[in-house]
Amino acid sequence: MTDEDNLDADADLGFAPAVVDNAGRTAPTRTASRRPSGFRRRAASLAVLIGALTAVGGGYAMLAPTSGADDTAATSQDVEAGRQLYNTSCITCHGANLEGVTGRGPTLVGTGSADVYFQVSTGRMPAPVQGALELRKVPKYTEQQILQLGAFVQSQGGGPQVPPADADLRAGSDQLGDGGELFRLNCASCHGATAHGAPLSAGKIAPDLYRSTDRQLYTAMLVGPENMPVFSNNQITPEQKKAIIAYVQTMKEAKDPGGAGLGRIGPVAEGLVIWTAGLGVLMVSILWIGARL
């Protein structure tokens, strides 16, 4: 693959957050170069550049005071450690510059630390083989390594960021009703009203959410991994995301007041129980009654 191909691939992204968060790269000018008017193009480029610089500078200023701790914000050591992890485990499929390798893996430019966190902390990445979808596995890296890897990808391509470790991602119990409504409206059509998951077409699945942590739920909504749509902060605000997380986690932790939950998968399990346990006991009973003259 030539260098030009890579640049084209970047340009085709048209991914606004990456541009904003990554002002130093060539992407803005290349995207702008398609536009017709020279003056407007230069003015727009300037505006984007100023905006991007302000965003990065402001963002850094906001994050800098809290970055002294362990894993919340990216230090240069974190980025360096992340680069080493990347070069060990990710580079084969995602390329030396996160540009992706045709037939192996997609570009990671603009995916951000949130996507890295979701994919690696759920064990989906690094993937042993190519497939229609990756399933949840035991993660290969520690939480700190995952954040370092995320910091590296963030530093290279920008994108949605993983929320810091000390952030409370669960809304209060007064938000449960709203969270439930949002969950049923946006999530239940694939994951099911009880979050037990469901198959999609052709072997793909919407996984169950019973092993997901708050941060995994949050980052999944933010980046929309695999077949899941992106629920950006414009569609579902961070507060609403936290309400959804509160609802999902409360529902998961809640005991079943009616007895055994039967997997919370509804009438199919119930039908199975009545035909095996219910009718089974009764058939044994009638055999017993019939045998006792």
Partner 1 sequence: MTTTSDDLSKAPTVKGPKRFDKPRTPIGKAGRWSEDRLGAAGGMRKQLNKVFPDHWSFMMGEIALYSFIILILSGTFLTFFFDASMAEVRYDGSYVPLDGVEMSRAYASTLNISFDVRGGLVKRQIHHWAALLFMAAMLIHMFRVFFTGAFRKPRELNWLIGLGLITLGLVEGFAGYSLPDDLLSGTGLRIAAAIMQSIPVIGSWAEFLVFGGKFPGTVIIGRLYIVHVLLVPGILAGLIGAHMALLIKQKHTEFPGPGKTEQTVSGERMYPTYGMKAGGFFFIVFAVCAALGGLAQINPVWLFGPYNPAQVSSGSQPDWYIGFLDGSTRLFPSWEIRLFDHTIPPLFWPTLVLPGILFSLAGAYPFLEAKFTHDKSAHNLLQRPRDVPVRTGLGAMAITFYGVLLVSGGNDLIAKAFDISLNAMTWAGRICLLVLPPLAYAITYKICLGLQRHDREVLEHGIETGIIKLLPNGEFIEVHQPLGPVDDHGHGQLAYAGSKVPKKMNELGNPHGHKIRGFFYPVREKTDIQAELDALAAAEARGEHRQKELTD
Count of CB atoms situated within 10 Å of the CB of 57: 11
**What DSSP character marks residue 65?**
G
For partner 1, which is the closer residue by CB, 22 or 194? 194
Could you give the 3-state DSSP secondary structure of residue 205?
strand
Instruction: Decide if residue 49 touches partner 1 (CB under 8 A).
Output: no
For residues 140 and 147, the answer to whether their CB atoms sit within 8 Å is no
**Residue 185 found at the interface with partner 1 (CB under 8 A):** yes
Place of tokens 């890295």: 116
64 lines the binding site for partner 1 (CB under 8 A):
no
- Using alpha carbons only, give the angle 136, 137, 139 rounded to the nearest 5 degrees: 115
Q: Which of 197, 224, 226, 232: binder of partner 1 (CB under 8 A)? A: 197
Among 188, 224, 226, 230, the residue binding partner 1 under the rule CB under 8 A is: 188
* Options 10-18, 32-40, 49-57, 282-290: segment touching partner 1 (CB under 8 A): 282-290
CB of 292 to partner 1, least distance (A): 8
What would the two tokens of residue 208 be? 């169950």
Distance, CA of 183 to CA of 195 (rounded, Å): 9
Tell me the window of 90-98, 117-125, 143-151, 244-252 that interacts with partner 1 (CB under 8 A): 244-252
What contacts 87, CB < 8 A, 6 or more positions away? none
Residues between 262 and 281 that touch partner 1 (CB under 8 A) = 262, 264-268, 270-271, 273-275, 277-279, 281
Q: Does 228 bind partner 1 (CB under 8 A)?
A: no
Rule CB under 8 A: is residue 290 a binding residue for partner 1? yes
What span, in angstroms and rounded, lies between the C-alpha atoms of 64 and 74?
9
Pick 59 or 123: Cβ nearer partner 1: 123
Coil/strand/helix, residue 137: coil
State both tokens at 163: 């929320």
Q: How far is the CB of 216 from partner 1 (least distance, A)?
A: 20
Burial of 226 (0-12, 13-18, 19+ CB in 10 A): middle
Among 72-80, 93-101, 141-149, 192-200, the segment contacting partner 1 (CB under 8 A): 192-200
Please report whether residue 69 would count as binding partner 1 according to CB under 8 A.
Answer: no
Contact letters for partner 1, residues 137-176 (x by CB under 8 A): ------------------------------------xx-x
Please name the amino acid found at residue 214. Answer: D
What are the φ/ψ torsions at residue 125 (nearest 5 degrees)?
-120, 145
**DSSP for residue 168:** -
Sites of contact with partner 1 (CB under 8 A): 173-174, 176-178, 180-181, 184-185, 188-194, 196-203, 205-206, 247, 250-251, 254, 256-262, 264-268, 270-271, 273-275, 277-279, 281-282, 285-287, 289-291, 293
